[in-house]
Amino acid sequence: NITVKHEEPAMAVAIANEIALVFQNEIVEIMNVDNVSILSTAELGDSPSPVSPNPMLNMAIAFVVGLMGAVGIAFLLDYLDTTIKDEKEVEDVLELPVLGVIPNFEKSEEKKLIV
């Protein structure tokens, strides 16, 4: 099998056919083989389509690699996070009892002080 990639399909066909002919003529001297024949020549189709690049495959690969990278970074950031988030972690890390907790109050526009 001979595979040729070129920007112009006609040139790729010509290169493939010429390589096959040169191989058929030169293999006799190189390996002392007389029964080499070309089974089928390269032909240019009616509407040749490029084999490379394949945009859908490239996008799928980029999506999978990006997803794997994002998940890896998320796990790495979670693993390297050393902040204390709640009172249970304070008790575990400092081994001291928690005396009090200040709750978080969210601002609400509905509750306004009327004077």
Q: How is the chain split among helix, strand and coil, in percent rounded to 5?
A: 50, 0, 50
pLDDT at 113: 59
In a domain, 110, yes or no: no
- The count of other CB atoms within 10 Å of the CB of residue 13 is 18
pLDDT score recorded for residue 87: 86
Tell me the per-residue pLDDT of 39-83, one tens digit each, with 9 for 90 and over.
888 888 888 877 778 889 999 999 999 999 999 999 999 999 988
For residue 105, is it within any domain?
no
- Regarding whether 56 and 40 lie in a shared domain, the answer is no
Higher-pLDDT residue of 59 and 98 is 59
Instruction: Indicate the pTM of the whole model.
Output: 0.49
Higher pLDDT, 64 or 87: 64
Asked if residue 113 is part of any domain, the answer here is no
- Domain-located, residue 68: yes
Q: Does the residue 114 lie in any domain?
A: no
59 and 33 assigned to the same domain: no
Tally of domains in the chain: 2
How far apart are alpha carbons 71 and 6 in whole angstroms?
Answer: 39
27 and 59 fall within a common domain: no
pLDDT at 13: 93
Give the domain range for residue 28. 1-45
Q: Among candidates 90, 92, 110, which has minimal Cα distance to 101? A: 90
Angstrom distance (rounded) from CA 67 to CA 73: 10
Task: Please report, for residues 98, 112, 113, 114, 115, the alpha-carbon distance to residue 109 in angstroms, rounded to integers and kept in the order given.
Answer: 32, 7, 10, 13, 16
Mean pLDDT of the chain: 87
Q: Which residues contact 27 (CB under 8 A, 6 or more apart)?
A: 33, 36
